[in-house]
Structure 1
């Protein structure tokens, strides 16, 4: 393997070994994921658009890549950073090695770096810009280009479906708004025999209502929720007219549509071991999460939303419910791809709302 370097916007840099796709220069936001497993779902999660993901678990790739666990067909992750990757994976479902898959999808990787040092830096200083390069002969010029680099703010547009499509079913009719949807959400609804119409992120409320849905699902997605103004307007036009369930970005869009605020977190929540407490029952669930923005708790006071769940690690708003209408949301991923299945029953609660079975989630 040849050398590859990761340079951060604070001027520090790491030397490692190249794997995955070849590059000359690649930029990304450096974030970390604490999951011990689920790297295939992480790589294929559209919410990682434009990001370099650092895996905190030291050995990644030991069970390879299979045909079943993808969250999207075409990953949008910018790069993958590991301490060590398995060159010769072993698993009965394995189709590709991690290295060969990254090459196939033109995703660069860097291995053999001190991921513990890198993650400690992110935790102390927050997420930051980074660039992967093959050579640092002109390091100051690379740092200058990194300093001048700015990310586009159209991540949702890039990962959303372009046209509507239908996944037929014989039960409730659900419109699923794709802001960067994980396929795990689709799987949950198809397992419940729902008739699903997936629509692009910029679909209007009028267009959604013309489909006569029994309920509307707002998916996860990448980037700053405040950039998704069409999504905020969509939610405003749907509230009170149809039951709504939001996950991750969908959760944040509901908050913004109702007059609350959101903010960028220091280093976000990314992993499948985050404890969340339900304030109504006192239950604590382990959850799978991937977000760098959160709803600002203080901003809920002047809205019709009430907080229903909270993160035990840092008091992040993890669940919301509208006081007047059938609208609720969670910041984490109840479709559990990858992760614990504690909160999977939220899909059943949503369908109970859709069918009039219960009043509240």
Structure 2
């Protein structure tokens, strides 16, 4: 099978444990795989499926001042150093795509060395725990977004009661079309690629940081260029006369959710770059793109099947209890978000009715 085109790549070094030395080369990530090729002979030193990764960390060691480590199933740790443009930027991108891969359906393992029942049990418990922890963080962020939306609608309702604020009615009524987690970078500034989100509204594009703080709002009529670099990355630019342009580059594993909307809203300003053709060719020969939600429950089913045949030892009881608690917390948060969605829907209906009523009054006054 042909090798997938890389989504992103960085020059750096990889520690070869068997030879106790560092090799320089290129670290790259594709939709499903993390690779490192040495230079100048392009020898593949590591090719690791994202689904096998247990942990990604930034840490220091006796070998190098700072490094990025990737823990593989089987407790195998890979060390990467001297990454450019910086270690933090690489970490954020890898962690983002790995996290999104955890929430995607399971994929075939292929020809791998069989695990013992004990190793399989520990791997399943550990994997389920990490996936639930990651899902919990995603649910927590999503819940905060729902809460912020409800607060925003409450504020709109409050503003609608004040006649002298009627010009602000429509600026607050841009309902969310889609919202995706993303890695964002301000092109032309010293800022690196950082976790954040892209929110596509009816009348604008909002780029926010990991805390939900607004970095920039591109009003629809102010967007000058939308360059699509790959199915996972695009940049949006707002031009100015006499001062620097404002441009953000957005990278996300869920970018397909936003592209369909962007193509409709900004079709005259969207430009496909040359790099995009390479991705189209590889994706056409690759199984379907990842979708959220399947891996957690598949892991739970696998875990139960193993437990039925191999009752857990006392040493595993604590891990199982932690997995159970995480699952219960995730279920509770989902129920809370269902209630928040109901409240959000009712609030949106009330706000729409109030807007229509005030619009009719304004037209009569005019």
- Scaled to the shorter chain, the TM-score interval is under 0.3
Richer in helix (by share): 2
Question: TM-score by structure 1 length?
Answer: 0.23
Larger radius of gyration: 2
Question: TM-score by structure 2 length?
Answer: 0.23
